[in-house]
Amino acid sequence: MVPSPHAPAAVAPPKHFLQFTDFTRDEIGHVLERTRWIKERFKRYELYQPLRDRTLAMVFEKASTRTRVSFEAGMFQLGGIAINLNRGDTQLSRGEPIEDVARVISRMVDVVMIRTFEQSIIERFAAHSRVPVINGLTNEYHPCQILADIYTYVEHRGDIAGRTVAWVGDGNNMCNTWIQAAAVLGFTVHVATPVGYAIDDAKGSPYRAHYRTFADPMEACRGVDLVTTDVWTSMGFEAEDAARRTAFAEWMVDPAMMREAHPDALFMHCLPAHRGEEVAPEVIDGPQSVVWDEAENRLHAQKALLEYLVCGRVDGTD
């Protein structure tokens, strides 16, 4: 029986997933294994509802397609429900402190997912929450996406430990999270960013042994097992769009870049994608691309994450 976070007696502080490094290698391994099991059941159309009567609150301060659908559908499939809160519809837009929102919401639901701006916002929320909080994307990190990406790599190619991933583009939330994942799981990231868009040293430096920086994206892609990129302008940075278009003009992942990678290399993109900007159509729609599996795996990986955070370690199989 899982202890209720809503019982009158004080309970232990909840476990959160605010950054990839909040989980150990063993915990990530467990969630990946549960992802496989949950996905297989889903494919057989078999009910698996460990979260009956449980509620997820989703707080969106930025737009979303995949995160919204995967969490809402996933929660429903696990037997629970999801409540969607867009910033504009809540008292957050009228200045209610995030700490108060956390105190209130977490007395009513079992788990919270937030997509917001600064990482400090989600950390403040989590510090005042009685229930687990999941980072559904901040300016700094996108751990749910990288969880799905790692699962997708494992599904197609096996263990990612010891492999090399090339990051081509902005030193953004996705790039920071790939580097964290490399440190947790034991692989290397080749980071190629235009001048002025490098990763923030404060975020990268604890993981220095797990990434190398490159001025030339072709060089970064040489011999790697996976090439990945993202939009030139992330949500919240729209005012910089014109400057970014100039700075990133030569930074499209194209067939020539893919030819530098290992012949067996995969291509990933968290989506939404802009064909002809950060990725050539022949790459994203080509044979090395696994972007549709990657997007689908958000559903399965987050169901495993929800199961772990709400129910603890479930090892049961049928």
Binding positions for ligand CP, rule: CB under 6 A = 64-67, 137, 145, 270-271
Cα-based torsion angle of the residue sequence 84, 85, 89, 94 in order, rounded to the nearest 10 degrees: 180
34, 68, 142, 244: which is the annotated catalytic residue?
142
**Residue 96 DSSP SS3:** coil
Inter-axis angle of helices 66-77 and 291-311, to 10 degrees?
50
14 vs 149, beta carbon nearer ligand CP: 149
234 binds, among ligand NVA, ligand CP, none (CB under 5 to 8 A by kind): ligand NVA
14 vs 302, beta carbon nearer ligand CP: 302
Examine the residue annotation and report whether 302 is marked as an active-site residue of this protein.
no
65 binds, among ligand CP, ligand NVA, none (CB under 5 to 8 A by kind): ligand CP
Interatomic CA distance for residues 250 and 167, integer angstroms: 15
Paired strand residues for 192: 168, 214
Minimal distance in Å, beta carbon 222 to ligand CP? Answer: 27
Closest residue to ligand CP using C-beta atoms: 67
148 vs 265, beta carbon nearer ligand NVA: 148
Contacts 24+ apart (CB under 8 A), 93-100: 98/124, 98/125, 98/128, 99/124, 99/125, 99/127, 99/128, 100/128
Examine the residue annotation and report whether 270 is marked as an active-site residue of this protein.
yes
Examine the residue annotation and report whether 66 is marked as an active-site residue of this protein.
no
Minimal distance in Å, beta carbon 271 to ligand CP? Answer: 5
In 3D space, the residue among 199, 208, 197 whose CA is nearest the CA of residue 245 turns out to be: 197
- CA 254, 255, 260, 264 torsion: positive or negative? positive
Examine the residue annotation and report whether 230 is marked as an active-site residue of this protein.
yes
Residue 226: Cβ within 10 Å count: 29
116 vs 145, beta carbon nearer ligand CP: 145
**Strand 164-168 and strand 226-229: pairing?**
parallel
115, 130, 210, 300: which is the annotated catalytic residue?
115
Minimal distance in Å, beta carbon 95 to ligand NVA? Answer: 24
Minimal distance in Å, beta carbon 171 to ligand CP? Answer: 18
Minimal distance in Å, beta carbon 43 to ligand NVA? Answer: 25
> Which residues are near ligand NVA by CB under 6 A?
137, 172-174, 230-231, 234-235, 270
289 binds, among ligand NVA, ligand CP, none (CB under 5 to 8 A by kind): none
Minimal distance in Å, beta carbon 143 to ligand CP? Answer: 11
70 vs 106, beta carbon nearer ligand NVA: 70
Interatomic CA distance for residues 163 and 184, integer angstroms: 13
130 vs 244, beta carbon nearer ligand CP: 244
Examine the residue annotation and report whether 298 is marked as an active-site residue of this protein.
yes
Contact residues for 313 (Cβ-Cβ < 8 A; gap 6+) = 30
230, 244, 300, 302: which is the annotated catalytic residue?
230
- Beta strand ranges found along 34-110 (DSSP E): 55-60, 81-86
**Catalytic residue annotation:** 115, 142, 145, 230, 270, 298
